[in-house]
């Protein structure tokens, strides 16, 4: 549990730490969409190079990002494994009923693996270099045009911010409960599936109760501070769009042009 870094903020003085949260959010979403535009190894090599470049700019060690991917690696590999086994096309290496291992399946599996890992890396860069309160302000600013059609933008931004803020707390508390159960003699990861699921009960129930208690405490604190849903609010922090934020968006546009050119001129393995 303590290896998951989603939602954690690492203080720093890097260039990414000083970018406007709106620029980081737009760039991250733009990059994720761009992952589905590339269709050959040239494009994915470029995107991998860009991902490592951004990670280097964050001044966070590579092992920190790898530590964040490690808990999800089995889920990623399982998805890739299914893609390889049940996707046919190109040269067939193994044909055994529904299970087919082909050149198309292997290449597509490699592309899917790259997409998952790069999405995790880029999303982690955003959360590691952006304070939760800044993320809230950024999401609120980006969704503000939806207020014209009566969408509760402030409430949505607040919920997303609270979720990101308490993910690390929930993971830390889960680790404490598991350690307490181990001290009582519980051994996790052993026995049949039914036995392992039964061992999760003394973990889930305390977490559920503590989450409700934390939600109640937060509601009381927000009420004491005068928070009222749907009421106009002012902000102590003002987002300021700077030249470097514009340059970051221009960099994404330039990256898109190169990826599109590689898509048109490179070898397409997905058709």
Residue 1 pLDDT > 50? no
Query: Taking a C-beta distance cutoff of 8 angstroms, is the pair 92, 251 a contact?
Result: no
d(CA 216, CA 204) in angstroms, rounded, equals: 18
Specify the residue for token string 């221009």.
250
pLDDT digits (tens, 9 = 90+) for 202-227: 788 888 888 888 888 888 888 887 77
Q: Name the DSSP letter for residue 99.
A: E
Tell me the pLDDT tens digit for each residue of 157-201: 778 777 777 777 777 788 788 888 888 777 776 767 777 777 777
pLDDT surpasses 90 at 254 = yes
Q: So where are the chain's domains?
A: 1-152+235-271, 168-229
Within 13 Å of residue 109, how many CA atoms lie on the same side as its CB?
Answer: 21
Instruction: Give percent above pLDDT 70 in the chain.
Output: 87
Q: What percentage of the chain exceeds 90 in pLDDT?
A: 19
Least confident span in 7-16, 87-96, 241-250: 87-96
User: What is the rounded CA–CA span in Å between residue 164 and residue 135?
Assistant: 9
What's the CA dihedral at 46, 48, 50, 53 to 10 degrees?
Answer: -140
State mean pLDDT over 11-21.
Answer: 88
Per-range mean pLDDT, top range of 128-137, 176-185, 243-252: 243-252
Give, for 87, the enclosing helix (H) or strand (E).
strand 86-87
**Contact (CB, 8 A) for 80 and 151:** no
**CA atoms of 51 and 54, how far apart (whole Å):** 5
Mean pLDDT of 232-259: 85
User: Does pLDDT of 258 surpass 60?
Assistant: yes
Alpha-carbon distances of 58 from 104, 153, 226, rounded to whole Å: 35, 29, 36
- Pairwise CA distance, residues 25 & 18, whole Å: 13
pLDDT of residue 265: 67
Strands 99-102 and 92-96: antiparallel
> Do residues 215 and 165 make contact, with C-beta atoms less than 8 angstroms apart?
no
Q: How many CB atoms lie within 10 A of CB 50?
A: 19
pLDDT in tens, 90-121: 677 776 766 677 777 788 888 889 999 999 89
């Amino acid at each position: 549990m303590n290896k998951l870094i989603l939602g954690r903020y690492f203080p720093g003085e890097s260039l990414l730490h000083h970018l406007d949260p709106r620029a980081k959010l737009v760039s991250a979403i733009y990059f994720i969409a761009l992952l589905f535009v590339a269709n050959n190894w040239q494009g994915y090599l470029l995107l991998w190079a860009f991902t490592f470049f951004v990670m280097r700019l964050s001044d966070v060690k590579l092992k920190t990002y790898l530590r964040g991917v490690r808990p999800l690696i089995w889920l990623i590999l399982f998805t890739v494994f299914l893609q390889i086994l049940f996707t046919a096309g190109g040269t067939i290496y193994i044909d055994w009923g529904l299970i087919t291992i082909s050149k198309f399946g292997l290449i597509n599996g490699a592309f899917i693996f790259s997409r998952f890992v790069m999405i995790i890396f880029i999303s982690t860069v955003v959360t590691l270099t952006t304070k939760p309160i800044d993320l809230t302000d950024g999401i609120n600013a980006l969704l503000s045009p939806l207020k014209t059609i009566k969408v509760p933008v402030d409430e949505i931004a607040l919920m997303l911010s609270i979720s990101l803020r308490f993910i690390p707390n929930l993971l830390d508390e889960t680790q404490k409960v598991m350690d307490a159960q181990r001290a009582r003699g519980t051994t996790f990861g052993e026995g049949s599936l039914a036995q392992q699921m039964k061992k999760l009960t003394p973990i889930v129930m305390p977490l559920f109760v503590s989450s409700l208690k934390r939600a109640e405490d937060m509601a009381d604190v927000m009420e004491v501070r005068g928070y009222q849903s749907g009421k106009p609010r002012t902000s102590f922090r003002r987002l300021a769009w700077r030249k470097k934020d514009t340059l970051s968006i221009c960099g994404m546009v330039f990256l898109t042009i190169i990826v599109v050119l590689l898509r048109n001129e490179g070898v397409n393995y997905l058709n």
